[in-house]
Structure 1
Amino acid sequence: MAQVYIALGANLAEPIDQLNNACEVLLSLAEANTFSVSPYYRSAPMGDVEQPDYVNAVAGFSTTLSPIDLLDALQAIENQQGRVRELRWGPRTLDLDILLYDDRCIDSPRLVVPHYGMRQRSFVLVPLNDIAPELVLPDGTELHSLISTALRAELVLAQAPTG
C-alpha cells in the first residue's frame, strides 16, 4: 500500500463542484479511512493564457494501485468530467496530478514523481501542508521549510473541506 498525494485544480464549469465530484471518485481509490482533502484555494492561472482563476486543493490517501494504474485512474476521472487537453496551462474542467507516491522517485515517459513543479507552486505547497504538515519529501526536504508568508499570501481560501 502506498501513501499518495494528488493535486486537484479546476477553473471551468463550476470549479468547486468539479473538485467535489473528483473527491467523491478519489475516495473510491483510497483504502478505508485514509482519505483527506485540504481546504480549497483560489489562485491566479499560470502562463500567458487569458482565463478565470483556479480553485485548487490537495488530497492524500493510501492506495494499492501502482503508479501507472493510479495515473490511468486519474486521467479517466478527468475525462469523465470533460477534460480536454488543448493548450498547455490553459483552462480546464479538472486537472489531477500525482504529486508524491510514497517516497519514490519516478521518471518515465508518462509519469514524473515527485511532480516536477510542486516546489514552485503555492497552490500545491500550501494545501499539501494543510493535510501533511510533517511531510518530508523524497530528497529529505521538510515540506514546511518551503512555505513562506509570501507564498501563503498568493492564495485565497475558496472553501473549507466538506464532510
Structure 2
Amino acid sequence: MNITHLSLGTNLGNKLENLNNAIKKINTLGKVLKTSSVYQTPPWGFKSDDFFNIAITLETSLTASELIDSLLSFESELGRTRKAEDLGYQARPLDIDIIFFNDEIINTKNLTIPHPRMQDRNFVLIPLIEIISNYNHPVLNKTLETLFDECKDKSEIIRTKHLLNT
C-alpha cells in the first residue's frame, strides 16, 4: 500500500460541501487515514474570495500516476474546468494536489512529487503540519516545521470551527 498526502482547496460555491464531496470521492480510492482541520486562507497569487484548505493522508493501492488521473477526474466531476488558455491562478470549486507520495521523488511531464511549490505556501504547510508535523521532505531534507519557519509566505491562515464528514 502507498501513503500519500494531499492538499485540497476550494473558494467557489459551498466550500464545505465541496470538501465533503471530495473526501467522499477520495475515500473510494483507498482509506483516508487523517484529515486536518479546515483553514480559511486568502487567495494566493490572485484576487478572489477566501479559500477553505485542508490536508489529507490517504492509504491507497494506486500508483501516483493512477492517483493523479483519478483526482483530476474528481475535480472535473465536482465542477472545476481547466482551459489551455487559462493563465495564472483562478477561483475554483476544487483543487487537489498530491504533495507527497510515500517518500518518492517523481518528475514526469504530468506529475512532480513532492509538489514543487509546497514549501512556499502556508495554506499547504499549516494543514500538513497538523497531520504529519515531523515528516521530512525527501528533496529538501527538512521537516515541515522547518519549512514553515523558513517560508516567506506571511498570509493569515485561520483555523475554522467547521467539521468535515470523514
Q: Under a length normalisation based on structure 1, what TM-score does the superposition of the two structures give? A: 0.90
CA distance in 2, matches of 1:69, 1:150: 33
Q: Which amino acid aligns with 1:44?
A: P
Any conservation in 1 of the 2:4–2:57 contact (CA below 8 Å)?
Answer: yes
Q: Is 1:68 matched with 2:62?
A: no
SS of residue matched to 2:125? helix
Q: Which amino acid aligns with 2:147?
A: L
Q: 2:159 aligns to what?
A: 157
Q: 1:17 aligns to what?
A: 17
Q: 1:42 aligns to what?
A: 40
CA distance in 2, matches of 1:111, 1:89: 18
CA displacement at 1:17 relative to structure 2: 1.0
Q: 1:142 aligns to what?
A: 143
CA displacement at 1:115 relative to structure 2: 0.4
CA distance in 2, matches of 1:97, 1:20: 16
CA distance in 2, matches of 1:39, 1:151: 20
Q: Identity, % of aligned pairs? A: 29
Gaps of 5+ in 2: none
SS of residue matched to 2:49? coil
CA distance in 1, matches of 2:153, 2:35: 20
Q: Is 1:8 matched with 2:5?
A: no
CA distance in 1, matches of 2:152, 2:90: 25
Q: Which deviates further from its counterpart, 133-142 or 90-99?
A: 133-142
Q: Which amino acid aligns with 1:155?
A: I
CA distance in 1, matches of 2:6, 2:163: 17
SS of residue matched to 1:4? strand
CA distance in 1, matches of 2:43, 2:153: 15
CA displacement at 1:147 relative to structure 2: 2.3
Q: Which amino acid aligns with 1:68?
A: S
Q: Under a length normalisation based on structure 2, what TM-score does the superposition of the two structures give? A: 0.88
CA distance in 1, matches of 2:28, 2:95: 18
Q: 1:121 aligns to what?
A: 121
| Residue deviations 1:31-55 (CA, integer Å, cap 9, x gap) | 4xx521100111111123x311111
SS of residue matched to 1:147? helix
Instruction: Give every structure 1 segment of 4 or more consecutive aligned residues whose post-TM-superposition deviation is greater than 6 Å.
Output: 149-153
SS of residue matched to 1:62? strand
The CA RMSD over aligned residues, in Å, is: 2.0
